[in-house]
Every structure is written in C-alpha cells, then in structure tokens.
C-alpha cells in the first residue's frame, strides 16, 4: 500500500507540487496569524498571581493621588506597593514608538523580579535622578548602550526630558517584555510642579504585591473599600485581569485575525479536496480493476487517504519550517508594537494537527466514492 500511495502522489508532479505549495502557504499564514494573537496575550500569560493593580475606577486615563500609597501599604496582606504612570513621550519622531513608564524606582523593580538587572547598573540607576532603564530588545533596536543620553519630548506631560541610560535589563522568562523603558517618577513629578502643578503628585496606577494568591480577592476588596466615596475611587484587580483589559480594547481585531486564520484553512481544505476528487475520478477504472482482482474497499480507501495525508503533511511541514524565517522577516515597524513575537511549540503543534485534519477531511468523499464504485459501472463510464 505504501508503494502505491507514493506512486499515486507523484503521478502528476506539477499538480502534487502546487498542492503542497498551497498547503504550505496556508499553514504559514495560519501560524503567523496565530503567533500574532499569542503576542497580544503575551502580557496576560506573563502576569504574576501575587500582583494587583489599583487604578482610578473611572478609567485608566484618570490619575490617582500618590498619597494613596501609604494607606494601601498599611492594609493586612500587602507586602509591597509601588506606583507608575504611562509616559507617552516622543523619541526622535512619532514613528519610534515604545512603552515608557515613569515609576517609583527602585520599589517598582523590587515587585518585578522578572526584570533581571546587573547589580552595578541597578545601583547607578537608583543614584541618578535622571537615570533610566531599558529592555534588551529596545536597546538593541536603537543601538543604545549604558551611559547614552536619551531625549524624550513630552506629549501629555509638557516639557523635554533628558534621561541617562544607566541599566539594561533582560527577561527572566521567555514571555518577559524586553521593549520597555522606565525612569524615575520623582523626576517627572519635579517637572510637573514647575510646568503643570495640577498634574503633580498624581500617578496612573499602584502595583500591589500580596503575600499569596489566595489574598488577591480579599485585599482588592479592602483597597477599594478604603477609597469608596472619595474624590478618586479605585478599582483593584489582578495583574492578569488588568492586562486583559488592554486586550479587550482590541477584541474585534483579534476576533477578525482568528477568523481569517481559520478561513485560510477552509480554503486550502477545499483545494486539497478538489485535488483528491480529481485524482479519484481519473482512477475510477483502476479502482474497478483492483476490485475485480480482489482488493477490498477499505484498501482503496486507505490508498486515497494515504495520498491525501502525504500531500497535507508535506505541505504542513514545509509551511511550519518557513514560519520562523518569516517571523525574522517581519518589518521592525510591526514588531515594535509587540513585546513578545515568537512561534511557540503550541502553535507548531496546532499547525501540524490542522494539516493532519485537512488531509483526513479532504479524503473522506473520494474514499467513500471509490469504496462504493461498481465494477461494471466504472468500466463502462467514459471521461
């Protein structure tokens, strides 16, 4: 059977080659789209179960008084508190976007052990009021090195900000975002007291660490209860839920990407099914002769199924092999919006599983027809 399957597969080399190529392109597109979806959820998957985020109950855009930190820290079950603010500064021009945060250093870093920093660089960062910390990928993108001066022009926060790159961190885990920049919130606050006093002593959110994951719910309720009926009520949620909130903003885009990824698979399923149907029609007389010689219907079905699986698997493996080089070929303008953009083993396994499923489904109808073909009918049929 294996010999017959292989010979049938290569009977029309051009048709087989084009089918394999089409299958490869479909699986490549599927894997790339799934990788893009995974990149969107990378921050969610990397969230810590012992970290909470406290923000303004109205929206993330609305700030909170920095004085809230002392009250949060005094609550039972809380082991650490830090604060941060999203800083939407311009580096060189607007095209050079990357995440920027004004944070309470070094306290914020103490709550983020996944950011690995050399001790000497960490000390230099703490001592320099205008010091900043950049991720390894971000530094490589712009060719930064420790000691460089980085100039940011404020947008929401007015003024120009001169930062000294004192440290470069790398991620402890593969899912850690290495494209972020942190600098001292105190430096930003000093500028706000001069340029925009109404924005001084304000933060975007508090990062709260609890003693154990079991305390996440009770502590969240306690924090929100403390500031209930205040001028700035709070909403406290787990870090995972907080990150999911950002993903939810683009939920329609994610659904569209996932729909397109499965639509591509549906198209290649029809292409492969058509290829197998053409082959089965051409060989109907051969199947009738084989039946007359004593071959059972299940043998004929096995030959057709085997040919379909060979085409699907060869195309799938080729597509998966091209996925990683295709990721490297993505333009920087796209990759800058994703902290993590890499093909996972789950995506590769899903791609292979999809290939096998497509090969199986494409062979069902031709195999059924070949198994049921009548000898006399097939031998007398013309065309």
What is the phi-psi region of residue 99: left when phi exceeds 0, alpha when psi lies from -120 to 50, beta otherwise? Answer: beta
Residue 232's pLDDT is 93
- DSSP labels for 173-184? STTS----EEEE
Out of 167-171, 290-294, 377-381, give the one with best mean pLDDT. 167-171
Element (H, E) at 95: none
User: Which two structure tokens, joined as six digits, stand for 373?
Assistant: 């073909």
d(CA 15, CA 172): 48
Residue range 128-136: mean pLDDT, rounded? 95
Highest mean pLDDT among 44-53, 154-163, 273-282, 291-300: 154-163
Residue 247 confidence (pLDDT) above 70: no
What is this structure's pTM? 0.71
Is there a contact between 157 and 191 (Cβ–Cβ < 8 Å)? yes
Length of the chain: 383
> Cα–Cα distance between 290 and 32 in angstroms, integer?
44
What is the structure's pLDDT at 378?
55
Residue 120's CB is within 10 A of a number of other CB atoms, namely 11
Average pLDDT over residues 201-222: 95
Residue 246's pLDDT band, with cuts at 50, 70 and 90, is low
Q: Return the domain boundaries, the chain.
A: 2-42+251-380, 58-232
Average pLDDT for the chain: 86
């Amino acid at each position: 059977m294996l010999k017959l399957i292989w010979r049938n597969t290569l009977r029309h080399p051009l048709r087989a080659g084009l089918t394999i190529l089409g299958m490869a392109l479909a699986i490549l597109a599927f894997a790339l789209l799934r990788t893009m979806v995974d990149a969107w959820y990378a921050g969610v998957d990397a969230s810590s179960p012992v970290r909470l985020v406290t923000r303004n109950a109205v929206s993330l855009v609305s700030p909170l008084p920095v004085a809230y930190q002392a009250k949060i820290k005094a609550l039972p079950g809380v082991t650490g508190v830090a604060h941060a603010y999203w800083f939407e500064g311009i580096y060189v021009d607007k095209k050079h976007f990357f995440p920027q945060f004004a944070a309470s250093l070094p306290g914020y870093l103490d709550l983020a052990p996944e950011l690995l920093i050399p001790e000497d660089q960490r000390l230099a960062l703490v001592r320099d009021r205008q010091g900043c910390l950049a991720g390894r990928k971000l530094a490589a993108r712009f060719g930064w090195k420790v000691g460089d001066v980085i100039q940011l022009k404020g947008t929401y926060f007015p003024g120009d900000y001169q930062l000294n790159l004192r440290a470069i961190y790398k991620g402890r885990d593969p899912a850690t975002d290495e494209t972020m920049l942190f600098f001292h919130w105190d430096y930003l606050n000093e500028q706000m007291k001069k340029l925009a006093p109404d924005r001084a002593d304000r933060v975007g959110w508090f990062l709260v660490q609890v003693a154990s994951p079991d305390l996440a719910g009770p502590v969240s309720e306690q924090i929100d209860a403390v500031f209930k009926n205040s001028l700035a009520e709070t909403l406290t949620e787990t870090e995972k839920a907080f990150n999911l909130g950002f993903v939810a903003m683009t939920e329609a885009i994610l659904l569209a990407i996932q729909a397109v990824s499965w639509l591509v698979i549906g198209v290649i399923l029809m292409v492969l099914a058509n290829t197998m149907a053409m082959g089965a029609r051409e060989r109907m007389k051969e199947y009738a002769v084989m039946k007359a010689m004593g071959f059972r219907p299940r043998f004929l079905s096995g030959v057709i199924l085997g040919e379909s699986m060979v085409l699907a698997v060869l195309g799938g493996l080729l597509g998966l092999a091209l996925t990683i080089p295709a990721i490297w070929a993505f333009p920087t303008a796209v990759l800058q919006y994703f902290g993590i953009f890499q093909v996972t083993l789950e995506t590769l396994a899903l791609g292979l599983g999809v290939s096998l499923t497509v090969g199986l489904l494409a062979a069902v109808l031709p195999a059924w027809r070949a198994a049921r073909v009548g000898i006399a009918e097939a031998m007398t049929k013309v065309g």
